[in-house]
Structures are given as C-alpha cells and as structure tokens.
Chains A and B, each alone.
Chain A
Amino acid sequence: MAIQLFQRLVQAVILLFVISIVGFALLRLLPGDFAEVLLLAQMDGTLPDPATVTQFAQDNGFNDPMPVQYWHWLTDALGGDLGQSFITGEAVSSDMALRISRSLFLGVTSLATALILAIPIGFFCATHTGGWIDRALTALSVVGMSIPNFWLALLMALFFSLFLDLLPSSGHGTLAHVVLPALVIATSVTGVIARFVRARLLDELSQDYVRTANAKGMGRLRILLSHVVPNILPSTLTLTGLQFAKIFDGMIVVETIFAWPGIGSLLVESLFNRDYPLIQMCFLVIASGYVVINLVVDYLITLIDPRVRGAI
C-alpha cells in the first residue's frame, strides 16, 4: 500500500508541476507585451512610453529566458506572492483564504446534502424495486441531469424567497443563506449518486454471500449493514470523489446567482474585469485544490477497501 500511495503522490506532484507551468503560461501568453500590459494596469490606463516599458521589463526580469522567469515566478508563488490585482491593486492572495473556506463550506454542505438524500433513496429503491418511489427516482434523475442549474437556481429563489419569503436569496453569513445554494448544487448530483447506490446494491444483493447470510438466519438489516455496505462503500466513495468536480462547476453559477463570495464568483468577476493576475490565482487555487482532493479520496479508498490495501 505504501508503494501505491507513493506512486499516487508522485503523480500528484507531477500534475501540480504541469498546473504551475500552465498557470505561469496563462499570463505570459496574453496578447500584447506582458510588461506593457502590467504597466498599463499600474498606471490606470495611460499608455506608457517605450523607454519606461523597456526599463520596467529590465527591472522585473522580463527579458530573462523563460525557464529563469518561471523559476522566479514559482518561488514567489510558493511564498504566497502572485502579484497585484489589476483592479484593486491589492495582492491577489489577500482574502483568498476566506474565499476558499466559504467555497469549501458550500461545496461540502452540498455534497453532504446530496449524500443524505441519495443514500437512503438508493437503499429504499433497491429494496423496493418497481414501486412508485423507485420509478419516480429514475424519472427524477433524468430530469435532474437535464435541468440547467442556473435556471433551477432562479426558480428556487423565486419560489422560496420571493413567493414564500422563507429563505434569503443572496448573501452569506447565516445558515439560512446556505440552504438554497446547497440544494441547487445537490440536485444535480443526488440523482446520479442515488441511481448508482441502487444499481450497486442490486448487484450485491444477488451475490452468494448474501444468500448464505440469509440461509444462516441473519436479519435483513444486519446483512445490509455488516456485509453489503462494506462492499459498496469503496465504489460509492470513488463516484462521490468524481462528483466533486461537478459540484464546483455548479458552484460557479450558483455562487454568482446567490451572491455567495467564494472562489466561483471571484473567478467570474475577475474574468469580466480582465483581471489576469486574479484569474491566474483562481486557476492555481482550483486546479491544485482538486489535485489534493483527489489524492485524499484515493487515500480514503485504500483505507476502506482491504482488497486495494492488500493488492500491493
């Protein structure tokens, strides 16, 4: 297991390296001279004269070979310095930690909501196949996959905050603010997870070990909890890990609609302001965050599944 985990770790480090190169290239590949773009932003849009640009490029090492520039950029970035925002002039990393924590909170709440809904529904449908709830689940998951999440967010805001006046439709701070965004994001993944749990359960329930346990006179609940659940847990966890990326895609739109100040809405804002250092920061945070999440999920699976643990 140690070797396998080490391989994963090496892969993750390579991936992080590639991500950092892409992030670095993102700013340098901009149309126009990079020194001029930076100066333009610092001087509030007045066109700098060529001599100043040359001097600025010289001072900041923009004439060095690319690998040298990359090295300087990387050491700065690892020290937390990724330049200043074009718009506010503040360091792009200034309130990043706060934004990350808010996005993480929303993402984890959404995923937890999805799991709390999906797992019981999946279990119920697998044990009551053909019932109306089972059929409703299949129909609902098709709808859930087809519904545009930004539209659903607007409808939920219309219904719950404009008509019923139950929940706030924008902002953050109280727990009530999380409910609508989390529900919207959760709908897109609940159907997928519930259907997966149902299919996996049905597969396992027809296995010989379940029949043996049944023949021994074991209770239905105990068979489920002590035999079936450990068998479906690793694959469910893998699927859940894959849904994480989908959750962030939903979060970009939902954070923007519900004015939730996280990474997703920051990305949208910086795109429209053409605030390239901030876009770069968002890209680096999102991409490296996902590499780390993936690594953690992989590690959890090896912890849970003795077959994977013993394989190497």
Chain B
Amino acid sequence: MLRKTPDNQLRTRSHWRRMPLKGLVFLVVVLLCIWIPFFAPYDPQAIDILNRLASPSPSHWLGTDQMGRDVFARLLYGARITVGSALLVVLFAGGIGTLIGALSGYLGGFLDKVVMRLCEGMSVLPALAITMVIAGVLGLGLWAVIVALISVHWTEYARLVRNMVMVEKAKTYIQAAESLGAGRFRIIRHHLLPNIAGPLLTITAFSMSWAILSFAGLSFLGLGVEPGTAEWGRMIAESRSHLRSHPHLVLAPGLAIMALVMAINLFGDAYGDRLRGTHTNPLKSRRS
C-alpha cells in the first residue's frame, strides 16, 4: 500500500500534464475561431471564377473551389459557424437539462415522473429525425436548426444529471446539509451541482461532438446554413459533383470535422479516466 501511493500520485500528475494536450487542440480551435480574420489569407466569399478549381499551391494552400474561393480560408471561417453553433447547443441544452434534471432528481415526486417519462420517450426516438421535423416546422433556417437541436438534446442531460443526483442525494453530506436546515436550492447549487460537475464535463465533451456531427450533417443536407456559406458540411455538399476530379475539396472539410470531433472525444475519454482514478491510454488495452 505504502509503495503504491507515490506511484499513483505520479500517474495522476503525469496524466494531468498530458490532459491539457488533448484539451489544447480544442482550445486552439476555439481561439482560432475568434481570431480567424488575422489568419485567413483570403475573404472566404471572394469569388474568382478565372481561378476556379485550382490545385493546392503556395498562394492557395488548399486550392480553390468550384467558384474560385480559397478553400483554406473557407475552412477557417467554417470552424466559426460549426463550433459556434455546437457551443450554443451544448450550452443551452446542458444548462436547461442540468437544471431540470437536478430539480427532478432532488425534488422527486410528480415532476420527476413526468420529466423522466418524457426523457425516456425521447431517448427511444432517433434524435436527428426529430430534430429535422422540429426544424422543418420552425422554418429550416440556422436558428431553427439550433433551437431544434437544443429542444431534442436537453433531455439527454436531464436524464443523466437526474441519475447522478439520485446517487449523490443518498450520501451523508446531503443529509447533513439538510439537517442543518439548508434550503433546497442552496443544496442543489452549493452541494449537488459541484459534486456532479466532473462527470458532467465528460458528458459535455461527448455531447459537443454529437452537436458538431449533427450540425454538419444537417447543413450537408441543406438545413440550417444558406447555400454558399463557408460551413464544413455545406462545403462538402457543394463540392460533391467534383468528387472524382478534385477529391481534396471534399476531403479537407471532412478531415477538419473528424479531427475536431476526435480531439473532443479523446479529451472526454481522458478526463473521464482521470475522474475514475484509473490511468488508461485509449490505445492500450485495459488488462494487458
């Protein structure tokens, strides 16, 4: 036992050192989104018909698309829309879901029954299909898609937060706080939420990657962003007809989506492992 403790600490510390590396990718992307105009070599909407479908070259790093627009600049600006929308979805769905889940789990009773039936019902249905139907009724615009994603996705948070709150609620520190006379909302805010914040962040990472993939998929189909917008899913859809002659037009945005989602997933994995106190490399097996 004595021999093991320093070893564990060492592991945790080395893990902490490596953790930011995985988060860093995401952070860099977010910062890039804000400062894009400083990095982007061209205006993403500047049409240059004479120079259409140019191959990658020093002046156009990733070549130009079917309208002569610089692909690299469009990729950078595309991150802004995709990441921004996904962040909005996660923020609102997470906020609403956490609040309702925590209230439902802590207060219990009739509210809990209704909320949980609703969330279970939603979890059975295909989320993307329901999102599309809601977005269709709201009018297919960018805000319609974001609102539709939020209204489908909050139930996931509510369900998971409710289950975590049920576990925490039974622990003695909550009973202690209750017997000291703390109010319900004080307990939820100061005791329950801080204690589930860790696992919640892991969920948020995976929900972020879901939001990015869904948003890109919907804009690929033509929902959300206007035609011609510099958005990754839209770029893939619009370069589709040049797939055989200029595959890099489809490859580049797809790789961008994949890299971003993978970074977020790995971050979530690593953070989850750290929370559970085990140190596992996702590329190494558990019991080797």
Contacts and interface: CB of A to CB of B under 8 A. Distances in A.
A114 B216 CA distance: 24
B71 to A, nearest CB: 15
B236 A286 contact: no
A47 interface: no
Interface residues of A, number: 55
Contacts of B123: 242, 245
A154 B213 CA distance: 15
B254 to A, nearest CB: 4
Interface string B235-274: 0100010011001001101100110011001100100000
Interface stretch (B26-34, B54-62, B133-141, B186-194): B133-141
A193 B136 CA distance: 32
B129 interface: yes
A286 B222 contact: no
Nearest to A283: B133
A283 B137 CA distance: 12
B126 A245 contact: yes
A149 B133 CA distance: 20
A26 B132 CA distance: 12
Interface stretch (B101-109, B157-165, B168-176, B278-286): B278-286
Contacts of A279: 133, 136-137
Interface string A257-283: 000000010011011101010010011
B31 to A, nearest CB: 21
Given A146-B209, A162-B243, A139 B262 contact: no
A271 B223 contact: yes
A147 B128 contact: no
A130 B285 contact: yes
B77 interface: no
B39 to A, nearest CB: 24
B140 to A, nearest CB: 7
Interface string A118-149: 00000001000110001100110011011111
A111 B137 CA distance: 31
Given A150-B236, A245-B126, A283-B133, A130 B288 contact: yes
Chain B: interface secondary structure? helix
B197 interface: no
A30 B287 CA distance: 56
A279 B130 CA distance: 11
A148 B124 contact: no
B233 interface: yes
Contact of B283 (A11, A135, A291): A135
A26 B136 CA distance: 10
B180 interface: no
Contact of B128 (A154, A157, A252): A252
Contacts of B265: 142, 145-146
A294 B216 CA distance: 28
A149 B261 CA distance: 13
A110 interface: no
Contacts of A146: 209, 213, 258, 261-262, 265
Contact of A286 (B117, B129, B223, B254): B129
A286 B133 CA distance: 11
A158 B248 CA distance: 12
Contact of A245 (B127, B133, B253, B283): B127
Contacts of B125: 245, 286-287, 290
Given A252-B221, A282-B133, 9 more contacts: A26-B137, A142-B262, A145-B261, A155-B254, A249-B129, A267-B132, A267-B133, A271-B135, A286-B129
Interface of A: 11, 14-15, 18, 26, 29-31, 125, 129-130, 134-135, 138-139, 142-143, 145-151, 154-155, 157-158, 162, 199, 202, 242, 245-246, 248-249, 252-253, 256, 264, 267-268, 270-272, 274, 276, 279, 282-283, 286-287, 290-291, 294
Interface of B: 117, 121, 123-130, 132-133, 135-137, 139-140, 209, 213, 216-217, 220-223, 233, 236, 240, 243-244, 247, 250-251, 253-254, 257-258, 261-262, 265-266, 269, 282-288
Shortest 4 CB-CB distances between A and B: which pairs? Answer: A130-B288, A151-B254, A249-B128, A248-B126
6 contacts: A135-B285, A148-B233, A150-B217, A245-B127, A271-B140, A287-B125
